[in-house]
A and B are shown apart, each in its own frame.
Chain A
Amino acid sequence: MTVLEVRDLTVRFGETPAVQGVAFEVARGEVLGVVGESGSGKSVSVLAVLGLLPRQAAVTGSVRLHGRELLGAPEKELTALRGRSLAMVFQDPLAALTPVHRIGDQVAEAILAHQDLPRKQARARAVDLLDLVGIPEPGRRARAFPHEFSGGMRQRVMIAMAVANDPDVIICDEPTTALDVTVQAQILDVLGTARRETGAAVVFVTHDLGVVAGLADRVMVLRAGRVEETAPVDDLFFRPRTAYTRNLLAAVPRIDRRHRRSAPPPGGERVLQVEGLVKRYGRGARAVDRVSFAVRAGETFGLVGESGCGKTTTLMEILALAAPQAGRIVVLGRDTAGLTRRERLELRRDLQVVFQDPMASLDPRMTVHDIVAEPLRAHGLAADRVPELLRLVGLDPGQAARYPQDFSGGQRQRIAIARALALAPRLLVLDEPVSALDVSIRAEVIALLADLKARLGLSYLLVAHDLALVRGIADRVAVMYAGRIVEIGPVEAVFAEPRHPYTRALLAAVPVPDPARERARRRAPLRGEPPGGAAAYPGGCRFRGRCPVYAELAAAPASRCVNEEPELGGADGAACHHPSGGTR
């Protein structure tokens, strides 16, 4: 039975159409995946369904809920439907809850908006809902404010609000995009629960084809505001009709595939060596705790982990080129602790960085030429290499007089790479270099990085949370958890045969863009959430609270996990007392 039917939906902001002729329908209990790159109009389409677009948007076409036309319906009628028949879960749970009201009150508000209940009863119901979405101690946590919740917990709250009135349609706009992969798996589970509890139709907007493969019954692909194709999930993934979909699928890095790569020169010189690095902020716990690894010449070393694991802190400590609080950092054979100002400046030429968000890391008031020339000038060199650098990253030197905002995201990241290459460094630190980019652009930038590495003999230290990306381009990888490296080794070994239970869980949580595999997967998401930077760790293994292996252990072997902190260095390359689930 079709619940929601959208026909010929067109949305214009001024003259430019953002969405043109979009049509879809969803039936009760069905999940429709809506995928597309940024600017494809996926969010605009679903916001138009709810009538939540800004006032200046002109919406035409037809949106019918149970046959009732919503476009042009009076605001009062829409308000009555929103949150009752049509519920919504938004992308960024950090921003989606009002900071000044208590969690319980915000959930109760969703109930009270549509049900004539005494306030007290609504509050009690809110606590039940928080329990349903898996918030521990819901009675107590209902009195907390949003900033006291983690991202995952906030998203659970959003889902609690969405199901509060037993909706007919739940619209999810990138609900897991801002979350860590293990938390994403949990939230997808909670959404599954929500769907079963309400029997609602689900419209699921995402850019992640892996998530769609595991979740959707049918998929609609949007491109530049138009429907490229709509098909049952298997057809779309295995028999895509359009070239665009085929390219989109091909561009997704796959975590479940082995990659052939030219092995780095064996036993190359160590361009970076980190030994026992420690960093703590103020009097808090150690954000980075005794981390050791080395990057060899010509290799790409991946540092992966979830938010708060210390990977970015590690990177910042390296970039500081200063004496760490404890441990040693050696860049190109020079211990950073003993550098003079002048030597530090010299060494910086060999160590450059590309940041995550090219919009934020490029000064909008500087021309591209000035941006790329800046490191040259800082080191007293002539800026005549700029055109050559721009050509190197595939940009037209004729555009050097323009500003970063005149370029697309991918081009901006190329500018950032050109800037990093200006001083001909030997080691390039890449901090989430493509996570702000669309899938197809990502593939181009990755190809560029691989090409530059081969041509210029660079080494990369890559920090990323995207495991598929790391599998695709790294030679060796270190997995971080709660400030420590829990597993380290050649990327194929770690990904194909992960030893540490955390690595296993992390890899298992990554959705694969393959509906058959996703269906076959029995998902047992990791419980709990990655500890934040400020968490204090009791002795023993830091992962044991979430560890599926520890949970199954008998008392005797388990006591080791409680009393003794596991260290790297075994034959496994994993910091775990029971790397094979206690069987060995």
Chain B
Amino acid sequence: MTRFIIRRVLFGVIVLWLVATTVFLLFFAGPADNVARRLAGPRAPMEVIEQIKDTLGLNRSMWEQYASFLGNLLHGDLGISFISQTPVTTLIMQSLPGTLWLVAGAAVLWMAAGITGGVISAVRPRSVLDRTTTVLVLAGISLPTFVLGMLMVYLALSVFPWTGLQPGPYISPLLDLKGFLQVMIMPWVCLAVVQAAVYVRLTRGSMLDTLGEDYIRTARAKGAPERRVTYRHGLRAALTPVVTQFGVDIGTLLGGVVVTESVFGLQGLGQLMIRSVRYGDLPVIIGAAILASAFIVVANIVVDVAYSFLDPRVRLA
């Protein structure tokens, strides 16, 4: 187990290094003038270009630039934002809590709804309940997030203003719990609806397979109550693919929930990324990209370890 984790972490480091290198090449390869021009925009005066070349050290050789880029990265130094002139690390740390809370809260909702829905559907396949769920799932998957989000914002502000729910930037729950909930509930639900739909499908399929297994019949033949058969013998074994998907989703979403954050004006990583892409704020883009891949790498390691707990047949090696 320890060996496995060490190996996976080393592997993860290699992935991150590849990502960093790719990003580096993407932005910094080529003659210094071209790079500076790309950063400064087509209409920037020559002085600005010279200044950029100077501050970023674009006149050094590629290898030198690459070495200092990696060195800074290792020290957690992601550079200074062109636009706001604040360290990228600070910007990311400011945006991270909103995204973390958004994904965490939504994850609880969508896992609860998705697994429950999937189990209910699988236990009575082709029943009215199953069919209703299927329709809802289809609706959830096909409904664009921004449409649902805007609908929710409209309802909250115009029809149910007394709820106090409103779009707006993230508020720390430590400072103002009520404000935090009023801001977060809508994004939670919005993100969870889309995700839950996928998880209902996934859980249903996996459960149907498991419930057809011989050991389910054995459990029934023992006289175990149906509830116990469904959850202890069925769901427990059916969870493996669900957990895989969960790991991937969490990793991806932590990198930035672009649409949901935008609709509700939540100042998270997704928003930060959109903004920096729009203004060509290179250091921030690089920082966010590397952070996003780090999340995915870590989530995958966690999933693999979780496997060995879920299924004793899995030997980590």
Q: Residue B220 at the A interface, CB < 8 A?
A: yes
Contact between A82 and B312 (Cβ–Cβ < 8 Å)? no
Also in contact, A83 and B222, with CB within 8 A (given A99-B313, A100-B312, A147-B312): yes
List the A side residues contacting B225 at CB < 8 Å: 79, 113
Contact of A99 among B220, B232, B237 (CB under 8 A): B237
Q: How far is the CA of A81 from the CA of B221 in the complex (A)?
A: 9
List the B side residues contacting A97 at CB < 8 Å: 215, 218
- As a 0/1 sequence over residues 362 to 400 of chain A, the CB contacts with chain B under 8 angstroms (1 = contact) are 000000000000000000000000000000000000000
List the A side residues contacting B301 at CB < 8 Å: none
Considering only residues 144-160 of chain A, those with a C-beta below 8 Å from chain B are 145, 147, 158
List the B side residues contacting A109 at CB < 8 Å: 219, 222, 224, 228
List the A side residues contacting B218 at CB < 8 Å: 88, 90, 96-98, 158, 161
Also in contact, A113 and B223, with CB within 8 A (given A99-B313, A147-B313, A158-B218): yes
Contact between B222 and A113 (Cβ–Cβ < 8 Å)? yes
Considering only residues 123-151 of chain A, those with a C-beta below 8 Å from chain B are 145, 147
Q: How far is the CA of A161 from the CA of B224 in the complex (A)?
A: 12
List the B side residues contacting A98 at CB < 8 Å: 215, 218-219, 232-233, 236-237
Also in contact, A161 and B222, with CB within 8 A (given A98-B233, A145-B313): yes
In the complex, how many angstroms separate the beta carbon of A44 from the nearest chain B beta carbon? 13
Q: Residue B47 at the A interface, CB < 8 A?
A: no
List the A side residues contacting B223 at CB < 8 Å: 79-84, 110, 113-114, 165
Contact of B221 among A83, A99, A100, A147 (CB under 8 A): A83
Contact between A95 and B222 (Cβ–Cβ < 8 Å)? no
List the B side residues contacting A84 at CB < 8 Å: 223
Q: Residue B54 at the A interface, CB < 8 A?
A: no
In the complex, how many angstroms separate the beta carbon of A421 from the nearest chain B beta carbon? 37
- As a 0/1 sequence over residues 465 to 507 of chain A, the CB contacts with chain B under 8 angstroms (1 = contact) are 0000000000000000000000000000000000000000000
Q: Residue A87 at the B interface, CB < 8 A?
A: yes
Contact of A96 among B214, B237, B312 (CB under 8 A): B214
List the B side residues contacting A83 at CB < 8 Å: 221-224
Q: Residue A518 at the B interface, CB < 8 A?
A: no
In the complex, how many angstroms separate the beta carbon of B317 from the nearest chain A beta carbon? 12
Nearest neighbor of B214 in chain A, beta-carbon distance:
A95
In the complex, how many angstroms separate the beta carbon of B222 from the nearest chain A beta carbon? 4
Considering only residues 227-260 of chain B, those with a C-beta below 8 Å from chain A are 228, 232-233, 236-237
Q: How far is the CA of A147 from the CA of B311 in the complex (A)?
A: 11
In the complex, how many angstroms separate the beta carbon of A67 from the nearest chain B beta carbon? 20
Q: How far is the CA of A83 from the CA of B223 in the complex (A)?
A: 5
In the complex, how many angstroms separate the beta carbon of B238 from the nearest chain A beta carbon? 10
Q: Residue A75 at the B interface, CB < 8 A?
A: yes
Q: How far is the CA of A280 from the CA of B237 in the complex (A)?
A: 33
Q: How far is the CA of A371 from the CA of B168 in the complex (A)?
A: 66
- As a 0/1 sequence over residues 184 to 227 of chain B, the CB contacts with chain A under 8 angstroms (1 = contact) are 00000000000000000000000000000111011111111110
- As a 0/1 sequence over residues 398 to 417 of chain A, the CB contacts with chain B under 8 angstroms (1 = contact) are 00000000000000000000
List the A side residues contacting B217 at CB < 8 Å: 52, 90, 96
Also in contact, A88 and B221, with CB within 8 A (given A79-B226, A99-B237, A147-B313): yes
- As a 0/1 sequence over residues 273 to 296 of chain A, the CB contacts with chain B under 8 angstroms (1 = contact) are 000000000000000000000000
List the A side residues contacting B220 at CB < 8 Å: 52, 79, 82
In the complex, how many angstroms separate the beta carbon of B129 from the nearest chain A beta carbon? 14
Q: How large is the interface on B (under 10, 10 to 19, 20 to 34, 35 or more residues)?
A: 20 to 34
Q: Residue B289 at the A interface, CB < 8 A?
A: no
Considering only residues 15-56 of chain B, those with a C-beta below 8 Å from chain A are none
- As a 0/1 sequence over residues 95 to 128 of chain A, the CB contacts with chain B under 8 angstroms (1 = contact) are 1111111000000011001100000000000000
List the B side residues contacting A422 at CB < 8 Å: none
Q: Residue A50 at the B interface, CB < 8 A?
A: yes
Nearest neighbor of B213 in chain A, beta-carbon distance:
A95
Q: Residue B310 at the A interface, CB < 8 A?
A: yes
Q: How far is the CA of A95 from the CA of B233 in the complex (A)?
A: 13
Q: Residue A92 at the B interface, CB < 8 A?
A: yes
Q: How far is the CA of A88 from the CA of B215 in the complex (A)?
A: 12
List the A side residues contacting B224 at CB < 8 Å: 79, 83, 109-110, 113
Residue in B222, B224, B226 with the greatest tally of chain A CB atoms within 10 Å: B222
Q: How far is the CA of A114 from the CA of B232 in the complex (A)?
A: 17
Nearest neighbor of A88 in chain B, beta-carbon distance:
B221
Contact between B237 and A50 (Cβ–Cβ < 8 Å)? no
List the A side residues contacting B233 at CB < 8 Å: 98, 101
Q: How far is the CA of A387 from the CA of B209 in the complex (A)?
A: 41
Nearest neighbor of A164 in chain B, beta-carbon distance:
B222
Q: How far is the CA of A101 from the CA of B228 in the complex (A)?
A: 13
In the complex, how many angstroms separate the beta carbon of B274 from the nearest chain A beta carbon? 43
Also in contact, A99 and B226, with CB within 8 A (given A82-B220, A82-B221, A83-B221): no
Contact of B237 among A52, A100, A114, A147 (CB under 8 A): A100
List the A side residues contacting B228 at CB < 8 Å: 109
Nearest neighbor of B216 in chain A, beta-carbon distance:
A98
List the A side residues contacting B214 at CB < 8 Å: 90, 92, 95-96
11 additional contacts (CB under 8 A) given A52-B217, A99-B215: A79-B225, A82-B221, A87-B221, A99-B237, A99-B311, A101-B236, A110-B224, A113-B225, A145-B312, A161-B222, A165-B223
- Top 10 nearest A-B pairs (CB, nearest first) are A83-B223, A95-B214, A83-B222, A88-B221, A82-B223, A145-B312, A110-B222, A113-B223, A98-B215, A96-B214
Residues of B within 8 A of A (CB): 213-215, 217-226, 228, 232-233, 236-237, 310-313
25 residue pairs from A and B, CB less than 8 Å apart? A52-B221, A79-B220, A81-B223, A82-B220, A83-B223, A83-B224, A84-B223, A90-B218, A96-B214, A96-B218, A97-B215, A98-B218, A99-B311, A100-B236, A100-B311, A101-B232, A101-B233, A109-B219, A109-B222, A109-B224, A109-B228, A113-B224, A114-B223, A145-B313, A161-B218
